[in-house]
Amino acid sequence: MRFIVAIDGTAGSGKGTIGRAVSRHYNFKYLDTGLLYRAVAFNLRTITTEFSSISEKMILKSIKGIDKNLLELKELRNNEISEIASLLATNFCVREKLLDYQRNFANQKGGTVLDGRDIGTIVCPDADVKVYIDAEEGVRAKRRTIQFKKQNIEVTYQEVLRNLKKRDRQDRNRAIAPMLPSSDALMLDSTNMSIEESLGIIILRINEELKKITLNS
- Partners of 32 in the β-ladder: 115
User: Is the Cβ of residue 31 or residue 202 nearer to ligand DC in the bound state?
Assistant: 31
Alpha helices in the chain (DSSP H): 15-26, 33-45, 56-64, 68-71, 79-88, 92-106, 137-150, 157-173, 195-216
Min. distance of Cβ 215 from ligand DC in angstroms? 32
**Nearest-angstrom CA–CA distance, 35 and 112:** 16
Which residues, 147 to 176, sit near ligand DC by CB under 6 A? 167, 171
User: Is the Cβ of residue 180 or residue 210 nearer to ligand DC in the bound state?
Assistant: 180
Min. distance of Cβ 180 from ligand DC in angstroms? 11
Site string for ligand DC, 111-150 (x = CB under 6 A): -----xxxx-------------------------------
- Which of 154, 202, 175, 141 is closest to 19 using CA atoms? 202
- Which of 86, 91, 145, 182 is in the footprint of ligand DC by CB under 6 A? 86
User: Under a CB-based contact definition with an 8 Å cutoff, are residues 90 and 172 in contact?
Assistant: no
User: Under a CB-based contact definition with an 8 Å cutoff, are residues 88 and 44 in contact?
Assistant: yes
Contacts to ligand DC by CB under 6 A: 11, 33-34, 37-38, 82, 85-86, 89, 116-119, 167, 171
